[in-house]
Structure 1
């Protein structure tokens, strides 16, 4: 859809295809609630103190439920959905795409195993995006040399994993999730699939064996000077800042095994002292903003939890369609993606897939000013986080 000047937007917004059904449902329940109120008022207990208190309690409970229900469905009254045009983005801005810094946060190598963390990191490194404009930062609040070792292994494995993803258009780009899918009957792909799977299996085994030992062997510590930082760490709550650039994307010699540029990969464990509050994840994000500003300083920032991985390698370009739209882009401060749960049982008795939240609440809230920030899977403008005054 364009205007008289021939402008074609990078995204469009559409209302729900079934607004009538949604509104009919809301109106029907509203009538039923009003009938309950009428019933309560008409049948007020005349005798008995206990009966009157029971009536008052039930009536106020129903009023509170009704208020909550009306507020909830007022938000859902007119949900909207947004659609992007990545082809238009590529045609206009492929050579001028902005730098993007991705922040991955972890805090405990036992609760968040290093092999899980690097699967998230690798899926971010493998985005369909110019690698020289992509930087991935890991914030390790657990200051674990096991996590650093896993990152070192991931930096080496990425030289094979990234070209494999691009060559065969792999989805999802988390190795652990991808290798649960059997390869197609393509002999070339099957051969490379088996080779990459073996590399991943060997790496996974080394990381898990080292994690079970609880420390990195001296032989491995000699492979990278960064391990010497842990000689000065008193505890996870009392240590200096550790910053290690494992892959420097600014270096033209940082290439994969097919001679293509690699994205920047940085390990960070911020300084902590017992006498100062560290503010948990918010503190980690602040530290990542400061460190990344001195290395890559991407105008777009994405943050993601370490137990998430990207299931769509084009999602970064989707987000940029909102930020870079010539007419509406300046109105958007952040783009929030919903979460997609894996291995949810068919009946989903406990609502683990969060379908109501992500398929009903988010589109409804988006029509009323924008979705909530849920702490992960969100793209931000750097200027909104640290420079612009509101």
Structure 2
């Protein structure tokens, strides 16, 4: 199959042999492309057919392949548009009252997850309050010490558990069971109970071919024109994290959600195996979340009085990821430069005003470490997570903050960047050995390298002052917190220094990034030293 796909890609067309063999390709004409093609819909297995059984004689469910129509002149609204097309087509073919969506890079790891979700929906006392059941996102390729902090450990073990106590977790976009009619716009009514009933498919009189043809119109580009799809019905449009904004709008109508975390992981997927993949993925997440804070569905405004304060604060923690870049950039640059110049920014070690700073640093990192270890992580895994938070806040969150502001002001349009998760053998081997992967020229890497080198140069300059000068005690008393901060930044950036200067493999930092970063860091240090 891989050879056939590669051949078709090189030729730019489907060979006649394959076109005749596979029914779906009969609609794939010469001008077709992945962004310009008719609706392709085929019922591969008809659940109504008594002959649709497996090797053991068990009945097989209806299986449908759908590729919705796409045209360059129509916005396809990314994943939200695909989900809404699937909702409509499946309503026509099966109309199951509960839907499950799983990302294409995830698979079912626990067949009992369906039963677990139905137990919540069918609960006699509170089942009618639940709109969706969210399972955690877990990955089967996470390394022992979580090189890229991909386990989402704190989200799954701590934060989502806490949100569940305030009315339910956020909708994550994968591994989630929904009531179909709520996705289709049903309003909450606490007096009305929803019953799950099995429909009798035998009542359908349409033939397989007729069912396919009538369902195709539901996935056309023009079907949603002048309708409430993407606004009041289905997943919401206009935001890179359509799942989160859809979830909060459902909860604001009065519905609740449930977080279900069985002992055996329900769904497993593939996490990013390079640093750039990780940063690009989180850039999309943080940009979309910040757009929610700025739009009409903001948990700070729209959700006021509609959901609990605890749940609103839970949403705000994610929606305010992007602005975190401002404070982190300040603390990554200014204290180190002032250390190089010998100018204190924090209280002296003998001053009682140092106590609040010392308390915040000690309490924050002690609690963070205890939380990480309690949830099953390792000490080195926690250290890797601290590194990744620094990298995220100085690159992904920075670009997300800028793009979200530009989008809000009307200077740019929303985009959806799919995270590339395919890696060659060398990259996979380095990932398994927990060696950080750079290997590509990126503006994100330029920022990270420049900041790392700037802190290194400032630390070297401070050490030189101590060695050459005779005011060691005074320097230590006035600059202790700045020394600790700069030292921590240098220590946490050790993999970057390896990638810049010590490594020889293909995963090292590109020479172009190294050169630009050296020039930028030296220029900033020199200018600050002589011009300030």
TM-score by length of 2: 0.33
Which structure has the larger Rg? 2
More strand by share: 1
TM-score by length of 1: 0.45
